[in-house]
Amino acid sequence: MHTSQAANSSPALVLGLSPTGLIAIRSLGRWGIPVYGADFNPWGIGRFSRYCRYQQNISAVSQQRDGEALANALIEFARTLGTKPVLYATNDIYIDLLCPHFDRLRDHIMFSTRLDSNTAAVVGKKTFYKLCQRHDVELPATYFPEGTDDVRSLASEIRYPALIKPAHLHHFFAKLNGRKVVQVANAEDLIRNYVTLAEISSELIIQEVIPGPDSAILVAACYFDAHSKPKAMFVGRKLRQYPPRFGSASLAESLWEPQVAELSADFLQKINFEGICGTEYKRDPRDGRLKMMEINPRLTLWMSLTGASGVDVPYIAYQDLRGESVEPGPQVNGVKWTYLVRDIQSGYYYFTQGENSLRSWWRSMRGCGEDAIMAKDDLGIAWFVPAYAASRLLMRHGRGPGA
């Protein structure tokens, strides 16, 4: 626990109460900052944190997926508080809903990420990759087919294996059964899967797979102030992912890599980015160069690792927005974070592929001090994990609230 500063603190409002939202809830709540939370999923796990004050009205409005109604509810909430809250949108759905209303919301709310056209461009994979190309950011070979005929022409040019992904992943998460991408092994596989996925989305992207283990993926957590100056920078690496190979981190550790920090800062300053974001690169073993994989203009799942490593990104953003300075300490390397339930599944997958053993999995977990859900000062949340898991399963199949 940190020293309480509740007496002179602005409240925070976290939209999205998944384990990603839980990062901001605990980061700020441990400082004694009042934290409110809302989610279209009434069983969002962050709701049950001891540090969260659940906001029923905003949660109910969220289920409508109506940006104007949500903006109105947020303005009314701020008026009720009598002060500007600091808002953390921890889900791309909320970013999509609020970006068109940012100009009128900013009179009532402080945003941990500026929800302008730059942020909207980063959320969409197609606009993001084109933005990278415009600024000479190295990517895996990436294609934007206009239809099946384009794909048939490209099929002989593409290096396999390759990936097919929707331009707006969060719109189609349920239809992809929780996967981020579909991997294809050859031209025939590409065409067949593209035809199927085109029924879900007319905007599909094809991208080559960069070979190498999950540990070749390096990530940065950043916060840029109103002048696009980096106020916080953390670097780490993934060790395993779930779903395996092309998912979110299930095991990660802090590991400072200056090149990742430099590449991230260079690109984000070029686009005048303001706020919290996570960048991801993979080192290509064929040429040794770092290739940009994605940017999330918000908190990401593994970012509780930043606070445990001495660079508490959510808190630094909060203090900066309130006009208070905070100097992050030196990053501590070798701190590990896990989403244990998912990492067990990931470890089992790699075991079945002959790439892991029970002993090596156990060794990799040594020194793991942070979990995505469980925390020593918030143990009561454990009672609600089964309900949260069930709600996620229902939403994945289009049957849950707000699905």
Q: Do residues 370 and 259 both lie within one domain?
A: yes
Whole-angstrom Cα distance, residue 282 to residue 365?
22
Contacts of 72 (CB under 8 A, 6+ apart): none
pLDDT score recorded for residue 117: 85
Beta bridge partners of 53: 36
Which residues are within 8 A (CB) of 375 and not within 5 positions of it... i.e. 6 or more apart? 26, 381
Q: Answer for the pair 164, 241: CB distance below 8 angstroms, yes or no.
A: no
Kindly report the CATH number assigned to the domain that includes residue 48.
3.40.50.720
| Strand-pair partners of 220 | 235, 279
What's the pLDDT score for residue 277?
A: 96
Provide the angle, in degrees to the nearest 10, between the axes of the packed helices 19-29 and 313-321.
60
The whole-number pLDDT of residue 193 equals: 92
Q: Are residues 340 and 242 in the same domain?
A: yes
Beta bridge partners of 142: 207
Handedness of CA 200, 202, 208, 211 (dihedral sign): negative
* Residue 390 is assigned to a structural domain of this protein: no
Do 367 and 350 fall within a single domain? Answer: yes
Q: Are residues 220 and 316 in the same domain?
A: yes
Asked whether residue 193 falls in the same domain as residue 86, the answer is no
Total count of domains within the chain: 3
C-alpha–C-alpha distance, residues 224 and 29, integer Å: 22
In a domain, 82, yes or no: yes
Same structural domain, 227 and 348: yes
With a cut of 90, say whether residue 398 has pLDDT above it.
no
My answer on whether 369 and 225 are in the same domain is yes
Report the CATH number that the domain containing residue 339 is assigned in CATH: 3.30.470.20
Domain end point (choices 164, 185, 208): 208
User: Which are the contacts of 1, defined by CB distance < 8 A and separation ≥ 6?
Assistant: 30, 377
Q: What pLDDT score was predicted for residue 176?
A: 61
Q: Is residue 133 part of a domain?
A: no
d(CA 1, CA 369): 15
Please indicate, yes or no, whether residues 52 and 16 belong to a single structural domain of this protein: yes
Query: Within 13 Å and on the Cβ side, how many CA atoms surround 190?
Result: 28
The boundaries of the domain holding residue 279 are: 214-380
> How far, CA to CA in Å, does 352 sit from each of 95, 120, 243, 348, 357?
38, 39, 14, 6, 9
346 and 235 in a common domain: yes
Is 123 within a domain?
no
pLDDT band at 399 (very low <50, low <70, confident <90, very high): low
Is there a single domain that holds both residue 259 and residue 360? yes
Indicate whether 398 belongs to any domain: no
Would you say residue 361 has pLDDT above 90?
Answer: yes
Predicted confidence at residue 403, as pLDDT, reads 43
For residue 398, report the phi and psi dihedrals to the nearest 5 degrees: 75, 25
Q: What is the mean pLDDT of residues 238-245?
A: 93
Asked if residue 249 is part of any domain, the answer here is yes
pLDDT of residue 4: 57
Same domain, 171 and 234: no
- pLDDT per residue over 162-219, tens digit each? 999 887 765 555 556 656 789 999 999 999 999 988 887 778 999 999 999 999 999 9
Taking the model in full, what pTM does it have?
Answer: 0.92
CA distances in angstroms from 146 to 127, 150, 206, 272, 400, listed in the order given:
14, 6, 11, 30, 33
Backbone angles phi, psi at 14, to 5 degrees: -105, 120
Quote the CA–CA distance of 35 and 12 in Å, as a whole number: 5
Residue 134 within a domain? no
pLDDT of residue 179: 67
**Which residues, including other chains, have CB under 8 Å from residue 234's CB and lie 6 or more apart?**
220, 221, 222, 254, 305, 306, 309, 311, 313, 331
pLDDT at 42: 95
Placement of tokens 């402080």 in the chain: 110
Percent of the chain with pLDDT over 90: 81
Kindly tell me if the per-residue pLDDT of 6 is higher than 70. no
Residues 346-359 have pLDDT tens digits of 999 999 999 989 99
Per residue in 55-103, pLDDT (tens digit) is 999 999 999 999 999 999 999 999 999 999 999 999 999 999 999 999 9
Mean pLDDT in residue range 316-345:
94
Task: Identify whether residues 202 and 240 lie together within a single domain.
Answer: no
Looking up residue 193, the CATH number of its domain turns out to be 3.30.1490.20
Residue 17, pLDDT > 60, answer: yes
Return the pLDDT at 309: 96
Mean pLDDT of 158-163: 94
Residue 392 falls within a domain, yes or no? Answer: no
